[in-house]
Structure 1
Amino acid sequence: MAIRIISIIFLLVQLQIGFAHPPGLSSADLTIKPEGVDAKITFATQDIEAFVPLDTDADAEVSDDELGAGTRRIAQFVIKDFKVLLDGKEAVAGNEYKVIFDRQNNAVIETTYPGTSTVSIVVESKLISKLPTDHKQYITVKDAGGRELGKKMLTQKANLLEINLKNSAESEESENHPTSLFIDFLKLGVEHILTGYDHLLFLFSLLVVTRSFWPAIKIITFFTIAHSITLALAGLNVVDIPSSIVEPLIAATIIYVGLENIIRKDTVTTKQRCVLTFFFGLIHGFGFAGVLREMGISSIETGILVPLFSFNLGVELGQITVAAIVLPLIWWLHGQKRMSRFLVPVGSILTCIAGSYWLFERTVLG
């Protein structure tokens, strides 16, 4: 019975992993110049490939010809539904554009919307309506001197940013209040941890061996400190590690902790688990930073400080909420004699299976 209950819990988690899709993220940085508006629009490549596949012959390889044809179609697909209005008149993007694939699996489209504006600029992202419902796009607009004129998190229900250039300070304060931006990234942090099943499973594998309050609090604290450090370092571009390295390492941390639970069982001390949590938490912090990188805001110039702080706070709130629900259940199961002896081994075996799947997916299939 104990094995069945634990297995059912993990089966439900795996079903969520299979069917849940975390919200897509993108960004657009616009710079207003005398000759026009320079735009840099960044999307996760996987979001765009759903509409503009690069591997057209399905041979599991993207040739130079396919890449060349794909970049043209990607640029056309994105620019077509990204509207810029200058003083109420639509500016049409020029024929010149550039598509770059960066180290974080992003597609960056650079183009220019010719024209001048003295009254207002309106940015409308119709492209969001073609993407999954939860897709978010972070827009920033600056002048030629680098002064920020406005910023906003766009969604399908609110896909418009309007800035009054004659009084940009008041326009920014009314529509892009810092509180609104703080809340947007706070929600994003909560959503990311709640849909980040690899991070949650890692945390579960750390906490499943605990039987009381303080050891669990210490483990959570060390995890928080560690991933906050690397989230800040990566967010501020102090350290840059490609997601192709970070994501497999995250899967490996899950496997390692699961194996340690099976092999060492109750011989692992709280101090040892805290040290392990800290070092592995550093790796998970780079994974959290990947969300901000996907939005193209991992630089001070694009206003990273407020998003960085509020996003991290959102991650912590989501993490605390999950722990508050899961820990009492873990401790209750430990208190049941028949279930207690199966909880750690069965849970850890299933954890290793999930971690191995992610590792295979992010290396061989990635």
Structure 2
Amino acid sequence: MEIRPNEVLWTVDVGVAGLEKVVRLPAGELELTEAQLQAARSDIIAYLLECLKVDINGNSVEAEAGALEPVYASGPTGQKYISYARQHFQFPSTAEVKRVQLSSALFFTVIRNHQAAVIVSWRGVQKVYNKYGPYQLDLTFARLNPTILGTAVEFILWGMHHIFVGYDHIAFLMALLLAAQRLRDMVRVVTSFTVAHSITLLLAALDLIRLPGAMTESLIAA
């Protein structure tokens, strides 16, 4: 995938062996000719567009289908066959592309853990995402090419979102603040809560501590 100032170009390589399971092809992988592949182009594009979605700057964008190309491989005897179908899509944008959200559900009806390698290129920076099964990617240039400051800001924003949508956090913190009578006490309570919560999140993320969910929820409620 190449992200340009006013468009997103997504080149999708799909194995013919997989396509056979979701699209009716006139021949099998080893016998399929380029003419037969092109004859099935409309069905292949329809399936891909059903599974692949792109939003640019928060707006859904309709794809413009480009060329369908065969990608050849050589068998054990040296015989060449069409191993992949390469379909080009263009997603135009009237405004400068600042955020790209994409989702894929390829082969979800036939296999739950389909593996995909998503290669994203943006302003000369390239990154590979390995995904399994249906996936979603939320891309900005800052996430693709993070700086220390940018990463810190993103974590702060996510932390603020986590607190404001977690009403149990707010209720618990307010209960603690009721016991604080001075500003200094309030600062201590808020700081202690933040540090303790960060430590527990870190221990859980590193899988150093694992507690049963039922017991944890019961203790929180108590």
Cα distance in structure 1, aligned partners of 2:56 and 2:34: 37
For residues 167 and 138 of structure 1, what CA distance do their matches in structure 2 show?
A: 18
Secondary structure at 1:130's aligned position in 2? coil
* 1:39-92 deviation line (CA, Å, top 9, x unaligned): 110111110111112217x9x965776433212211221122111111111111
Q: Distance in 2 between matches of 1:93 and 1:120?
A: 17
> What is the percentage of aligned positions where both structures have the same residue?
16
Pairing of 1:1-366 with structure 2 (within 5 A): 30-55=1-26, 66-94=36-64, 96-104=65-73, 105-115=83-93, 116-143=95-122, 145-148=123-126, 150-156=127-133, 159-166=135-142, 168-170=144-146
Mapped partners of 1:37, 1:110: distance in 2 = 11
**Residues 117-159 of structure 1: per-residue CA shift (max 9 Å, x gap):** 443111111224234122111112112x4322x43212226x0
One-letter identity of the residue aligned with 1:38: L
Deviations 1:257-290 (A, max 9, x none): xxxxxxxxxxxxxxxxxxxxxxxxxxxxxxxxxx
Higher RCO (Cα < 8 Å, 6 or more apart): 1
Aligned pair count reads 138
What's the TM-score, normalizing by structure 1?
0.34
Residue pair 1:86, 1:121 contacting (<8 A) in 2 also:
yes
Higher helix content, 1 or 2: 1
Contact 1:138–1:151 under 8 Å retained in 2: yes
Q: Distance in 2 between matches of 1:113 and 1:155?
A: 24
Q: Deviations over 1:317-347 (max 9, x none)?
A: xxxxxxxxxxxxxxxxxxxxxxxxxxxxxxx
Q: What corresponds to 1:272 in structure 2?
A: none
Contact 2:10-2:88 within 8 A present in 1 as well: yes
Which structure would you say has the larger Rg?
2
Conserved 8 A contact 2:125-2:145: no
Gaps of 5+ in 1: 1-29, 175-366
